[in-house]
């Protein structure tokens, strides 16, 4: 049966094809559809709903704000909502981590903060070239696409994507050759013909590119290399940030301090659009208005962002709880991969994945999971990885319920066919 979504909405739509339900209501880690279907959510708005759907901790302040007659839209004008967010972000996130960053509000999406980061790196260094990694994903506007790996998405640009090159991500080669060896050599060799780049942009866990996690040692090596050669290091924490890997910033475990950090998705704490670009104060060479955008001052998002930070990041208790959720997720993933030849676990924290050897398995498992009441998507260049990204606030009950559906779907899709009758 066709509906208005099929007849009027562009062919470009994608999630509504894999999950053709009409979603009407959501709470925590569950969503309900118009036809009465109920779903456990292991997708979490592609990482925009780390604290779950309609979390009362962010909804109540938002409703009060909406009813108060306060300003909703403010470009980059001053508002109490923005003041409270900036003060809270400084006091609960930056200061306790000894991070000295300026806060820029670009447009409200992930690709907006990446574009701002690339532009700033080029302006600061006076160099054009940016290096990024195999299988990286940084967004769909031209600058972000130029540092993205996926060939289908890149072709969509319709023009050459220039001034960037790809280098091997952690463990891209044979596991024996150090991935950063080539770069180190060519940067040291004035005859290599390779110009020094303005910046290297990296995801500590590649969310879209197959849920690959870089090792802490590798990240430290990359950071050192950047420092030695005067290259800016940009960490794109759009998907892996805001607690997803077990700490607020995904790079905390490695101890590195990037020059520029991109945040979006869950920074608003509610699913409302919001993004930040953070950078060392010395890099703040913008002229006023040199990079702007109409939707930088989304006050309702500031309100929910502030509430989320106060609720979850005022002390270590939420982060400690996350450890338990990660352990439960790991146990389930281990029991699933133990039953499937060649399956392996990917990711870090609650940005996790199960990689299947046979092409098509992950997609079939995701489709069967949807039919049984679980939202789970695939990732990787061949969609070979099931990407498991429940809200960080998911209850043990909902996590078990989702995994029971998933384990049954994996079993059904990987079981050897019965031998023909004798
Ligand atoms: C690491 C990373 N950067 C940037 C983006 C782009 O974000 P948006 O879709 O909000 O533009 C994404 C989206 O998935 C992402 O995962």
Q: Region 114-131: what's the mean pLDDT?
A: 98
pLDDT tens-digit profile of 142-157? 999 999 999 999 999 9
Q: Among the atoms of ligand 1, which is closest to the Cα of residue 264?
A: 10
The DSSP call for residue 298 is B
Q: Among the atoms of ligand 1, which is closest to the Cα of residue 207?
A: 16
Q: Among the atoms of ligand 1, which is closest to the Cα of residue 110?
A: 7
Q: Whose CA is nearest to atom 2 of ligand 1?
A: 138
- Report d(CA 323, CA 296) in Å as an integer: 34
Q: Region 49-76: what's the mean pLDDT?
A: 98
**Residue 280 pLDDT exceeds 80:** yes
Q: Measure 147 CA to ligand 1 centroid, in angstroms.
A: 12
Q: Among the atoms of ligand 1, which is closest to the Cα of residue 139?
A: 6
Closest by alpha carbon to 329, among 263, 386, 251, 409?
A: 386
Q: Whose CA is nearest to atom 10 of ligand 1?
A: 110
- Report d(CA 110, CA 193) in Å as an integer: 33
Q: Measure 163 CA to ligand 1 centroid, in angstroms.
A: 20
Q: Measure 61 CA to ligand 1 centroid, in angstroms.
A: 27
Residue-averaged pLDDT of the chain: 96
Q: Whose CA is nearest to atom 16 of ligand 1?
A: 239
Q: Measure 150 CA to ligand 1 centroid, in angstroms.
A: 13
- Report d(CA 248, CA 243) in Å as an integer: 4
- Report d(CA 296, CA 319) in Å as an integer: 29
Q: Measure 263 CA to ligand 1 centroid, in angstroms.
A: 9
pLDDT tens-digit profile of 299-316? 999 999 999 999 999 999
pLDDT in the model for residue 7: 96
Distant-in-sequence, close-in-space partners of 219: CB < 8 Å, separation ≥ 6:
170, 202, 204, 251, 254, 256
Q: Whose CA is nearest to atom 7 of ligand 1?
A: 110
Q: Measure 101 CA to ligand 1 centroid, in angstroms.
A: 21
**Residue 422 pLDDT exceeds 90:** no
- Report d(CA 287, CA 183) in Å as an integer: 33
- Beta strands at 164-167 and 102-104: parallel, antiparallel or unpaired: unpaired
pLDDT in the model for residue 185: 94
351 — pLDDT class (breaks 50, 70, 90): very high
pLDDT in the model for residue 418: 67
In the chain, pLDDT over 90 holds for what percent of residues? 96
421 — pLDDT class (breaks 50, 70, 90): low
Domain 4-55+316-414, CATH = 3.90.1150.10
**Residue 205 pLDDT exceeds 80:** yes
pLDDT tens-digit profile of 238-252? 999 999 999 999 999
pLDDT in the model for residue 179: 82
Cα 220–266–354 angle (5° rounding)?
Answer: 65
**Phi/psi zone of residue 47: left (φ > 0), alpha (ψ -120 to 50 degrees), beta?**
left
Q: Whose CA is nearest to atom 8 of ligand 1?
A: 110
Q: What is the dihedral of CA 44, 49, 51, 57, to 10 degrees?
A: -140
Q: Among the atoms of ligand 1, which is closest to the Cα of residue 236?
A: 1
pLDDT tens-digit profile of 71-121? 999 999 999 999 999 999 999 999 999 999 999 999 999 999 999 999 999
Q: Among the atoms of ligand 1, which is closest to the Cα of residue 109?
A: 10
**Residue 174 pLDDT exceeds 90:** no
Q: Measure 235 CA to ligand 1 centroid, in angstroms.
A: 12
**Mutation pick for ligand 1 pocket among 44, 50, 110, 144 (CB with most ligand atoms within 8 Å):** 110
Q: Region 201-212: what's the mean pLDDT?
A: 97
| Ligand 1 first shell, C-beta below 6 A | 46, 109-111, 114, 137-139, 203, 207-208, 236, 238-239, 264
Domain 58-312, CATH = 3.40.640.10
**Residue 384 pLDDT exceeds 70:** yes
63 — pLDDT class (breaks 50, 70, 90): very high
Distant-in-sequence, close-in-space partners of 149: CB < 8 Å, separation ≥ 6:
132, 133, 134, 135, 136, 137, 166, 209, 381
Q: Measure 54 CA to ligand 1 centroid, in angstroms.
A: 22
Q: Among the atoms of ligand 1, which is closest to the Cα of residue 273?
A: 10
Q: Measure 411 CA to ligand 1 centroid, in angstroms.
A: 32
- Report d(CA 139, CA 158) in Å as an integer: 15
pLDDT in the model for residue 117: 98
**Residue 420 pLDDT exceeds 80:** no
Q: Region 363-391: what's the mean pLDDT?
A: 98
Q: Measure 247 CA to ligand 1 centroid, in angstroms.
A: 19
**Mutation pick for ligand 1 pocket among 49, 50, 138 (CB with most ligand atoms within 8 Å):** 138
pLDDT in the model for residue 176: 78
In the chain, pLDDT over 70 holds for what percent of residues? 99
pLDDT in the model for residue 274: 98
Q: Measure 138 CA to ligand 1 centroid, in angstroms.
A: 5
**Mutation pick for ligand 1 pocket among 265, 298, 347 (CB with most ligand atoms within 8 Å):** 265
Q: Measure 207 CA to ligand 1 centroid, in angstroms.
A: 9
Q: Measure 312 CA to ligand 1 centroid, in angstroms.
A: 23
pLDDT in the model for residue 416: 75
**Residue 27 pLDDT exceeds 90:** yes
30 — pLDDT class (breaks 50, 70, 90): very high
Domain boundaries, the chain: 4-55+316-414, 58-312
């Amino acid at each position: 049966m066709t509906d208005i979504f099929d007849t009027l909405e562009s062919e470009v739509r994608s999630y509504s094809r894999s999950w053709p339900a009409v979603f009407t209501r959501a709470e925590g880690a569950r969503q309900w559809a118009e036809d009465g279907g109920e779903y456990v959510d292991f997708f979490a708005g592609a990482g925009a709903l780390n604290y779950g759907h309609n979390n009362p901790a962010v909804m109540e302040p938002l409703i009060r704000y909406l009813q108060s007659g306060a300003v909703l839209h403010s470009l980059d004008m001053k508002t109490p909502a923005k003041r409270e967010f900036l003060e809270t972000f400084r006091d609960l996130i930056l200061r306790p981590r000894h991070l000295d960053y300026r806060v820029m509000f670009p447009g409200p999406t992930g690709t907006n903060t990446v574009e701002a980061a690339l532009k700033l790196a080029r302006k600061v260094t006076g160099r054009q070239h940016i290096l990024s990694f195999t299988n990286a994903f940084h967004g769909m506007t031209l600058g972000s696409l130029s540092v993205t790996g996926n060939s289908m998405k890149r072709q969509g640009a319709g023009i050459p994507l220039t001034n960037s090159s790809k280098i091997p991500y952690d463990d891209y080669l044979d596991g024996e050759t150090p991935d950063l060896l080539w770069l180190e050599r060519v940067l040291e060799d004035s005859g290599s013909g390779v110009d020094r780049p303005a910046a290297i942009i990296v995801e500590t866990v590649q969310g879209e590119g197959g849920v690959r996690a870089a090792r802490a040692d590798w990240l430290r090596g990359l950071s050192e290399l950047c420092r030695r050669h005067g290259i800016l290091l940009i960490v794109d924490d759009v998907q892996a940030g805001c607690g997803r890997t077990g700490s607020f910033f995904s790079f905390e475990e490695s101890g590195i301090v990037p020059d520029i950090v991109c945040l979006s998705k869950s920074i608003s704490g509610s699913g409302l659009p919001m993004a930040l670009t953070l950078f060392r104060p010395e890099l703040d060479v913008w002229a006023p208005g040199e990079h702007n955008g109409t939707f930088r001052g989304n006050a309702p998002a500031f309100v929910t962002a502030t509430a989320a930070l106060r609720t979850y990041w005022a002390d270590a208790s939420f982060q400690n709880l996350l450890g338990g959720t990660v352990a439960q997720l790991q146990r389930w993933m281990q029991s699933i991969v133990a039953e499937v030849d060649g399956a392996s676990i990917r990711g870090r924290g609650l940005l996790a994945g199960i990689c299947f050897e046979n092409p098509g398995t992950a997609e079939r498992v995701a489709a069967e999971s949807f039919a049984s009441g679980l939202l789970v998507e695939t990732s990787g260049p061949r969609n070979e990885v099931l990407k498991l990204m429940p809200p960080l606030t998911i209850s043990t009950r909902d996590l078990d319920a989702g995994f029971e559906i998933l384990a049954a779907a994996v079993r059904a899709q990987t079981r050897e066919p019965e031998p023909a009758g004798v």
